[in-house]
Structure 1
Amino acid sequence: MSLRIDERIAEHRAALSPQERKAAATLLEHLDDLATYRAAELANLAGVSKATMSRLFRHLGYADFDEVREHLRALRTAGEPRRVDGTPDLAAHAAQEAEAILRALHQPQLAQAVELVATARRVTVVGWRNSHPVALHLRQQLAHARGDVRLAPLPGQVVGEELADLGAGDVVVVIGFRRRPSGFPTFLAEAAGTGAAVVLLGDPTAMPHAAQATVWLECPVQGALAFDSYAAAMSLVGALADGVLSRSGRAAQERVSGISRTYERLREVE
């Protein structure tokens, strides 16, 4: 992976002229929204000439500021929070979210995932980092629709012991959005090796891992904002849980009622 722009500045700082260092300091000050400026605006902010700013870009290994923009877009595509297109149009963002939700929900593989999860002996839902809240939400919903639904990893725990009892007839639902832990493919291979069915839900960057899964569900997370959005992901797991509830029929409805009665006896919810 090529060095990020801040790493390039640190590497070349000693060789920069005083004016180029001044320009580099301005780049670092505006790193979070760097691509929202034009090269001339950055030069004015730094109090240097446009020629100095251009020389700095070349010293850092970029042909021009357009290449810097492409570098920042590549970081955003990899999941690093970056604003690359100026102040976002929130109405356009909302429309993009709605389109992402529709794409996520209109996948024929969703029906297969519902069938696997509804009929499994045991379901284990796994998610690390930014995938963990989505996994937690799915586990909470599935626990109303059917029994023996586990979440991994639990706080302070690893997942090795969660795989020990899995086998044919079980399902592992793996949530894997970008910036996954480095051991992610190894875990998928281990999960598939147990004989359990694997449902993999992730953004397009997880597609290379889909060969390890029984069912692949794709869900976009990148929008117009700096941070990834999980609106489509939450809708998708909601649809998955709803499908399991419907597929499980009367037994699921009786389970839901029983859980609600327990809430009332324990006075756990308002």
Structure 2
Amino acid sequence: MDQHLGQRLRQQFDQLTPNEQKVAGFILDHFDDIAVYSGAELARLSGVSKATVSRLFRRLGFASFSEVRQHVRELRYHGVPLVTDSKALGSGLERFHRHFERERDNLHQMLAAIDADTFDALIEALDRAPEVLIIGYRNGYPPALHLRQQLMQVRPGVRLAPLPGQSLGEELTGVSQGTLVIVMGFRRRAHGFSKLIEQLEKGGLETLLIGDPTLAATGTSPTWQLECPLDSVSAFDSYTSVMSLINLLANALLHKRLGEGRARIDAISDVYAGLDELA
């Protein structure tokens, strides 16, 4: 992405007129919810004319305030925590209703996009692979860790990479053929993400890529790809659909290998008891 609105304002702040600086200061102080204001509201709240607001945005490279709002929506699409809905969460019970509706929509979109035959083939691969390697960077690391914790209760040979403070080079060198690699790739992905997928493809490894709809822009072609919408009613992404998908994968694998899976769960419970690990 090019420099966003906030970066442009900070870079040019000293070159702005006093009135333009008033608008710029207000925008920087309220950047998280700038998309909910109109141009007239920005002028009124900053104590300047609408012409000053228009002049400032033209100086920053925007033809109009509607172009600014579109720019902010694109930032939100790429994962920058910004409020783009003027109602945001709402108040009282409305906030819970709006939150529920959005979460329900995300789950519906995620599940509707999964082909049943493709999902069965994926579970078959999860069952037969001698090893499962799960890779997660940044905001993909917590769900990767959770997926590992779920799968390792059902089958052996599940590991996570990279470990904290480590790189992937050592982890990918010598990975055995037949290994299923699961990569978590959500928006604001680490630099080099596409190269990682290409490296896995060159190695002839089966790959499952779990991410949000911005995956389409990466141009990658993993063996399987599952998309989880992250939309929320406010600034921060929601990972409800991701965690639901993890639950679906783990349960499907358990029922695929029910005897072995149950035996492993019982064995783990015995070790818990032997170590007195759980309250």
Q: Does 1:87 align with 2:96?
A: no
Structure 1 partner of 2:161: 152
Q: Does 1:264 align with 2:264?
A: no
Secondary structure, counterpart of 1:250 in structure 2: helix
Greater displacement, 27-36 / 187-196: 187-196
Residue type at the aligned position of 2:223: T
Tell me, in whole angstroms, the C-alpha distance in 1 between the residues paired with 2:110 and 2:18: 51
Structure 1 partner of 2:111: 105
Structure 1 partner of 2:206: 197
Identical counterparts, % of pairs: 42
Check conservation: 1:245, 1:252, Cα contact below 8 A.
yes
Secondary structure, counterpart of 1:200 in structure 2: strand
In the TM superposition, residue 159 of structure 1 has moved relative to its aligned partner by 1.5
Structure 2 partner of 1:180: 189
Greater displacement, 120-129 / 162-171: 162-171
Structure 1 partner of 2:40: 40
TM-score (normalised: structure 1) = 0.94
Structure 1 partner of 2:70: 70
Check conservation: 1:23, 1:46, Cα contact below 8 A.
yes
Secondary structure, counterpart of 2:190 in structure 1: coil
1:71-95 per-residue CA deviation (whole Å, 9 max, x = no partner) reads 1101001110000112324323311
Q: Does 1:171 align with 2:177?
A: no
Residue type at the aligned position of 2:256: R
In the TM superposition, residue 110 of structure 1 has moved relative to its aligned partner by 2.4
Change (3 A) 1:261 1:192: same
Secondary structure, counterpart of 1:145 in structure 2: coil
Q: Gapped runs of 5+ residues in structure 2?
A: 90-94
Tell me, in whole angstroms, the C-alpha distance in 2 between the residues paired with 1:94 and 1:33: 21
Greater displacement, 89-98 / 237-246: 89-98
Greater displacement, 134-143 / 102-111: 102-111
Residue type at the aligned position of 1:48: V
Q: List, as ranges, runs of 4+ consecutive aligned residues in structure 1 with deviation greater than 6 Å.
A: none
Greater displacement, 142-151 / 204-213: 204-213
| Partner residue of 2:264 out of 230, 255, 259 | 255
In the TM superposition, residue 210 of structure 1 has moved relative to its aligned partner by 6.5
TM-score (normalised: structure 2) = 0.91
Check conservation: 1:210, 1:216, Cα contact below 8 A.
no
Number of aligned residue pairs: give it.
Answer: 270
1:128-176 per-residue CA deviation (whole Å, 9 max, x = no partner) reads 0000011001000000010010001111111222222323321001111
Change (3 A) 1:52 1:186: same
Check conservation: 1:167, 1:194, Cα contact below 8 A.
no
In the TM superposition, residue 211 of structure 1 has moved relative to its aligned partner by 4.2
Change (3 A) 1:210 1:18: closer
In the TM superposition, residue 224 of structure 1 has moved relative to its aligned partner by 2.1
In the TM superposition, residue 125 of structure 1 has moved relative to its aligned partner by 0.5
Secondary structure, counterpart of 1:32 in structure 2: helix
Check conservation: 1:112, 1:215, Cα contact below 8 A.
no
Structure 2 partner of 1:8: 8
